[in-house]
Amino acid sequence: MNTKVIIRVVGVIVLIAALFYGYKEIQYLQRYETTDDAQIDGDVDPVTPKIGGYIKEIRFKDNQPVKAGDTLFIIDDADYRIRVTQAEAALQTAEAGSGVSQLNIGVAAATIQTSQANVQTARNQVSTAQANVAAAQVRAQKANRDFDRYSRLLAEKTIPQQQFDNVQAERDAAQAALQAAQSQLETAQLQVNAANTQTGVTSSQRKAIASQAAVSQATIKQRQAELELARLQLSYTVVVAPAAGVVSKRSVQVGQLIQPGQALCSIVTTNNLWVTANFKETQLTKMEIGQPVDIEVDAFGDEKLTGKVESFAGATGAKFSLIPPDNATGNYVKVVQRVPVRIEVDKNSPVFAKLRPGLSVGVAVDVQKK
């Protein structure tokens, strides 16, 4: 067999292989939408203190797995313990003041009851004095009529002088009794007025004491709130992990002064990872939620993962950029946009435990399955 025949045979074999490979590739591209613009994503939770102070102790090492609630940092709590003690003392003082106010209210209430009893007694005395005045008036009227009648009889010398003197004495006594009863009535009325005035004064005092008691109760509530705040701030001296994961990127040392909100480290959650794949807008025609996905992680070579389409972003990646493009300005050049697609990763895969956010992956979505 000469060289030309061999070349032709080889060419035919290469052509057949190319046609077969091309057919397979066309079939694959018709069934799958692929992209290597994808990476592993996950939650990275910053650990930030709620109070300031000096770092007293660090209880972890970089890249150490932690659970939610594990202690990471301890801040020097001497100042915050003193604040709790001060708040407790202020609360005790306020409660003592409130007790005195309650006692004063009780005393004022008893005084009011006594004053009200005095008012009632004075009113009863007024009623008695009024009855005495009425009786004295009746007696005086009768004595005056008798005196007039006996005066005429004496002028006619019908009665003796002694009998007339007796009637005159009775009249004078009745007049004196009436004046005395009227004086007693005036005195009783003055006593009623004095008792009412005393009751009013005591009532005003009670209102003032009640106002002081209300202020004392408000002060107690304020001191209780201050104590709760002091205790809460004391609890913040222990900085714990907000979530389970791997703690990394520690940025403080023992003895360093930190401020509220300062980033101390980060916790990467390794049990909740997903893939963010940026597909061209022209690749989304047949893509739907729930379609299966083949995932190839660059770091692990032939080891592959499976997953499924979970959701589509609300806008293209360009719209989420710091300075979104505005096609209404400048010369317009059409650029194919990419849409972030979130892909759920199968957690049962043995490779899942090795994944870390930021790893590059390639994905292939089977758009012919649902």
The full set of domain ranges for the chain reads: 33-76+246-326+334-366, 79-235
> 105 vs 128, which has greater pLDDT?
128
Mean pLDDT of 249-278: 91
Q: Are the C-beta atoms of residues 98 and 213 closer than 8 Å to each other? A: yes
Task: Give the pLDDT score at 304.
Answer: 84
In 3D space, the residue among 308, 299, 368 whose CA is nearest the CA of residue 341 turns out to be 308
Which of 66-70, 80-84, 168-172 shows the lowest per-residue confidence on average (mean pLDDT)? 168-172
H or E stretch at 23? helix 3-31
Q: Is the pLDDT of residue 103 over 60?
A: no
Q: What percent of the chain has pLDDT over 90?
A: 33
User: How many alpha carbons lie under 13 Å from residue 29 in its C-beta half-sphere?
Assistant: 6
Task: Give the pLDDT score at 289.
Answer: 92
Mean pLDDT of 341-352: 90
Burial of 285 (0-12, 13-18, 19+ CB in 10 A): exposed
CB atoms within 10 A of CB 160: 11
H or E stretch at 346? none
* 33-76+246-326+334-366 and 79-235 share one fold: no
Q: Is the pLDDT of residue 104 over 60?
A: no
Mean pLDDT of 43-66: 92
Task: For residues 74 and 56, give the distance between their C-alpha atoms in angstroms, rounded to a whole number.
Answer: 5
CB atoms within 10 A of CB 335: 9
Q: Are the C-beta atoms of residues 136 and 181 closer than 8 Å to each other? A: yes
Largest CA distance in the chain: 199
Mean pLDDT of 221-235: 90
Task: For residues 194 and 201, give the distance between their C-alpha atoms in angstroms, rounded to a whole number.
Answer: 11
Q: Is the pLDDT of residue 145 over 60?
A: yes
Q: Is the pLDDT of residue 58 over 70?
A: yes
Task: For residues 37 and 46, give the distance between their C-alpha atoms in angstroms, rounded to a whole number.
Answer: 27
Q: Is the pLDDT of residue 6 over 80?
A: no
Q: Are the C-beta atoms of residues 241 and 66 closer than 8 Å to each other? A: yes
Task: For residues 37 and 159, give the distance between their C-alpha atoms in angstroms, rounded to a whole number.
Answer: 147
Which of 40-49, 86-95, 173-182 shows the lowest per-residue confidence on average (mean pLDDT)? 173-182
N-term to C-term CA, the chain: 55
> 12 vs 119, which has greater pLDDT?
12
Enumerate the H helices of 62-160 as residue ranges.
Answer: 78-155
Q: What is the DSSP letter of 252?
A: -
Which of 3-17, 87-101, 194-208 shows the lowest per-residue confidence on average (mean pLDDT)? 194-208
Task: For residues 314 and 320, give the distance between their C-alpha atoms in angstroms, rounded to a whole number.
Answer: 10
Mean pLDDT of 196-201: 60
Cβ contacts of residue 177 below 8 Å, gap of 6+? Answer: 136, 139, 140
3-class DSSP assignment, residue 19 = helix
Mean pLDDT of 4-20: 73
Task: For residues 284 and 120, give the distance between their C-alpha atoms in angstroms, rounded to a whole number.
Answer: 96
Q: How confident is the model at residue 53 (pLDDT cuts 50, 70, 90)?
A: very high
Residue 10 tokens read as: 């080889």
3-class DSSP assignment, residue 241 = coil
Which of 71-80, 150-159, 299-308 shows the lowest per-residue confidence on average (mean pLDDT)? 150-159
Range from 81-95, 124-138, 206-220, 271-285 that averages highest in pLDDT? 271-285
Task: For residues 52 and 48, give the distance between their C-alpha atoms in angstroms, rounded to a whole number.
Answer: 10
Task: For residues 114 and 109, give the distance between their C-alpha atoms in angstroms, rounded to a whole number.
Answer: 9
Task: Give the pLDDT score at 223.
Answer: 84
Q: Give the chain's mean pLDDT.
A: 80
Mean pLDDT of 280-297: 91
In 3D space, the residue among 89, 88, 100, 84 whose CA is nearest the CA of residue 216 turns out to be 100
Write phi, then psi, for 301 (nearest 5 degrees).
Answer: 60, -115
Task: For residues 252 and 74, give the distance between their C-alpha atoms in angstroms, rounded to a whole number.
Answer: 12
CATH number given to 79-235: 1.10.287.620
Task: For residues 287 and 361, give the distance between their C-alpha atoms in angstroms, rounded to a whole number.
Answer: 19
Mean pLDDT of 299-304: 81
Q: How confident is the model at residue 335 (pLDDT cuts 50, 70, 90)?
A: confident
CATH 2.60.40.10 fits 33-76+246-326+334-366, yes or no: no
Q: Are the C-beta atoms of residues 256 and 54 closer than 8 Å to each other? A: yes
Task: Give the pLDDT score at 13.
Answer: 77
3-class DSSP assignment, residue 264 = coil
Mean pLDDT of 181-194: 70
Residue 43 tokens read as: 């939650």
Q: Are the C-beta atoms of residues 326 and 241 closer than 8 Å to each other? A: no
Residue 339 tokens read as: 């849409």
Task: Give the pLDDT score at 27.
Answer: 59
